[in-house]
Amino acid sequence: MTRLDGKLSHFANPLAHKDNQYSAEQKNILSVANSISAIADIKTWPAYAETPLHSLSQLATDIGVGSIFYKDESQRFGLKSFKALGGAYAVACQLQQTLANKLGSKPSVDELLDGSLKAELAQITISCATDGNHGRSVAWGAQMFGCGCVIYIHKDVSEGRKQAMQAFGAEVVRISGNYDESVRLADSEAKAHGRIIVSDTSYEGYMEIPKDVALGYTVMLAEIVEQLETKIPTHIFIQGGVGGLASAVTGYFWDLWGDKRPRIIIVEPEQANCLQLSAKAGKPIVVDGNLETLMAGLACGEVSALAWEILKNGADDFLTLSEDTIAPTMQMLANSFDGLPSIEAGESAVPGLAATMLASQDKDLAAALGLTDQSQVLVIGTEGATDPELYQQLVHG
């Protein structure tokens, strides 16, 4: 029997109803129809390739569920993260809009890539704040399309992640504060210097661009639907952060599958659980402090405003996960344990899977979540070894 040591704290969302309608306001944030153009554009990018959906059948049998499907984003566009989809797509959208205003017509993605607009693109600078993976996507997109890029990182972002962004030509500015402080500084300096912020979190006065980031993520979700063929998961355990990915997953599958949609279970670190606390309060709550967690991509204390509009009644459950579960789950996947394929999974990739395993071990919690031997569970391995040095330490000691 595969067991995992650790703790979960559960909150069931009283506002979640399986039969409620995905509203027009929520569809305006993200919908299947709006995703069609994003999916078509991204599939034309150089080196686009579908990422695998693994069936972890032996693990599913071991923990007493019907199936576990693991979407493996460890090699997406060579950036080793699903965020390659969102940030770079939003960069493309902003470049198209900016050039349309200047030139009088909107250039195609092919025109952004073919060098004919090189001089015009070089005059535009994109900026954002990041825990690492979103900034790498923005930097990669800026390099791919030929514009400038300035990235802001907080004190806990590793040197390896900083260097990965610099490798794509970005100027990287490290601050002494936390992620949310880096977001505010990036915003104020962008206004001062005429830069375009491409953020994966939304806040008052900044709502439209994060919609494009979320639409980029739908490429991954559309792939999952095709790979599942006719299956519809009963449960999705999805990582939290500011809520961008979680809301994209929730909204896309709610719009697609309606009352057949899976139970959406949000997983967060114990020290950075802004989504769970917001659900408990019934309104967005800010988690202050250093937000210290091994799950670097989830070290967020402030909910994305757009994400909250979907998650406030679209997410069914909120879990916090203890830190001691992360390295063992990464090791299990890396070591081809119990017949599983060897999977490269970073520290922010495994919380959904770790929470699935822990929940199945707790009879009362499994019952509360509706987990049975018939459950079809989907988890998203959001990143590979985006910090290779840390990955080696956690997986091999």
CA–CA separation, 300 and 103 (whole Å):
39
Query: Given CA atoms 137, 140, 146, 147 in this order, what sign does their dihedral have?
Result: positive
Do 249 and 392 fall within a single domain? yes
| Average pLDDT value for residue range 111-137 | 94
Verify that 173 and 280 share a domain, yes or no.
Answer: no
Residues 327 and 344 in one domain: yes
**Residue 296 belongs to a domain:** yes
- Residue ranges in 270-387 assigned as alpha helix (H): 274-281, 305-314, 326-334, 351-361, 363-369
- Averaged pLDDT score across all residues of the chain: 94
> Does the residue 3 lie in any domain?
no
- Clarify whether residues 271 and 296 are in a common domain: yes
Given 41, 62, 131, 180, the catalytic residue: 131
226 and 334 co-located in one domain: yes
Number of domains the chain contains? 2
Residue 159: give the domain boundaries.
Answer: 83-209
Residues 347 and 267 in one domain: yes
User: Which residues are within 8 A (CB) of 329 and not within 5 positions of it... i.e. 6 or more apart?
Assistant: 4, 345, 350, 353, 354, 357
Q: Is the pLDDT of residue 1 over 70?
A: no
The answer to the question of residue 2 being in a domain is no
pLDDT tens digits along 298-355: 888 899 999 999 999 999 999 999 999 999 999 999 998 767 779 999 999 999 999 9
Q: Is 131 a catalytic residue?
A: yes
3-state SS assignment for residue 282: coil
Q: Are residues 176 and 105 in the same domain?
A: yes
Task: Assess whether 179 and 71 both reside in one domain.
Answer: no
Strands 125-130 and 196-197: parallel
Q: Which is the catalytic residue, given 71, 83, 162, 312?
A: 83
pLDDT of residue 17: 79
pTM over 0.85: yes
Taking residue 385's Cβ as centre, other Cβ atoms within 10 Å add up to: 21
Residue 148 included in any domain: yes
What angle do the packed helices 274-281 and 305-314 form, to 10 degrees?
A: 60
* CATH (domain of 350): 3.40.50.1100
Q: Are residues 223 and 102 both part of a single domain? A: no
Structural domain includes residue 1: no
> Do 343 and 205 lie in a common domain?
no
